[in-house]
Structure 1
């Protein structure tokens, strides 16, 4: 006799022997046909351990068989929240499987398989640790800038260490006008470091990078730091100087050069003198001092001295000398005059 769940019947029981049927006994009310109740049961695949470890970019597969009457409703959770988008869930013929590809650190957590029916609810939990490089450190704090240009930097460990203990940290620095960071200190075991030799007027960014067995994670950058030189009280230091002697002996910074002139033409010698006090100038021809007259014109324009010889004759050829003389010293320079005879 086929009975369907939900059908209702009345039942009667009558005894029988060789003499026939006796009086029967019937149920007072209808009896509803109900399905046999059985609490849910979950059997995880033997390959599924209580705690699983997987590498980043790998694949997670959690498999289990489920039973119960009526057949339980099945759903997967991560950290107590139903999985909606992350992963693929397949349930068929009493078996269920959760597959997550391209694992990331964020997939670490507690995965729970929940099966429930009218008789109860059962859960099986698996802890997953995805091993990867660590997250960036947190809460970078810049201390007070000291007079010697040093600064204490502190930070907190990453929220997620990538499933491996942090081995050490790397501290980097860049100028605000530079794009690339330079390493200040590598393999820092703690969560603080004293930076030295910060230059007044410069602006810096700092970056902290954590490292574990699988490598370095992403860095965490600090706020901009501008190093301002502290201003103390105005202080003027007066220096005592000895008496300076500005006097200088007479000398030439432009000497005479040889001159060639034509007969009955003019010849001009030029030189330049320096000295303090201003030198006195004297001109000589062949060792004999000459003076200004119709034959010779002499000028001294702020140390530029000229001697002009008018109406040159053959006898004017010879060695001309200029002498500069002051209280500190004496100097001379000389040059030859060559007079070319005119055509007859």
Structure 2
């Protein structure tokens, strides 16, 4: 075994560096042996194997004497090297700092960060499949693979599930015992060693899941569910799962407030019930159904809305001619939904009556036109959303006065229309036939201005007030009812209409038929 190298003290080197200028001034002896010149670098570099050789140049000893020094024990090395430390500085050149090379060793490799999100993918009576996500930080050493370990609940003896590192993010653990509850953890491995372990949140029972949990979210809840303030909310969400799943609810990531919302769970569905909704009930509701390590989640967005507040401000910007320009800002309270438009109204100071100028208007400025010259107006604006128009409004403080200008307006002269018209029948009489003893009616229609006087004639003779005939004239419709006519009532009937503008007539023929009784019937009657 080679002797331990003698330690090199820095103080003689520093002294030699301080005396180096003096030594350089004296001429070096020509007779100096070459061995001395070679011995100086050996002292500067101070390698472990060259420690015994440091004494040889100082004593100028023969090679036979240097050999035992190499085989000497480590404790004798400092004694033999002592003459080298006491050698005069003039015999060796001063060391220079530029001859030293400092090499920083590379840092040792670091392990990766822990794998992420270990979850159960499948489980049955004898196998368990888990999956995970890669670690966030891998490092320069890369990733060699993963080790999956498991142990029974209550035990500390971890068993390695894979004999070799697996590069995949999924592993099936086989040959397990039915009924055991296992804790599982995953460790990432690289040149730096093992990472921190990422374990399942709770032990997994090894058993067959008859029916995995599944939430069947109704179609109406897959999009935003909007209700008005004060409405009752009763949402029924069915699900599957066997054995009976454990149902839990969260609102915006926090447990539900039992004072605001009630949950009623059964074997097949879960009911979210809010008796009287308000805007604080708006948010994202998350439902979780869990059977052992398997779970299913569903989210629904509940939005409770109401009518908006009035616009924040309204001002009269300008007035010119018959126009007034208005500007306003959106309401501070939008009713928990977006604004769909605005309603602009005006009122004349003389009457004080409000009239709607624009509805469902989307811009934040408007020009009201067609104002009456010489009148003064005030304006107000309502906000509108999908619930309705705001109950309050923003009203202008300034008054828009439409100034009079020197215009002499002369209305056009119109010739009065003459509405007088001679009688004219619009629906004439038509020939008619009836049977003896059966009443009948004749109808026609006439128009004229002024209202014409209507009279009926039979065979050119005015009927007059004969009680057998009933004459009616209403809204231009003229009728003549013949009550139980006989064969003598047949003939030509005429309706005559007469006014100041003229006379019009219309006629028809009425035939009254006799009932013919058969001879056999007569004999029966006799």
Q: TM-score range by the shorter chain?
A: 0.3 to 0.5
Point out the structure with max Rg over C-alpha: 2
Give the structure-1-normalised TM-score: 0.39
Q: Which has the higher strand share?
A: 1
More helix by share: 2
Q: Which has the higher contact order (CA 8 A, sep 6+)?
A: 1
TM-score normalised by the chain length of structure 2: 0.28
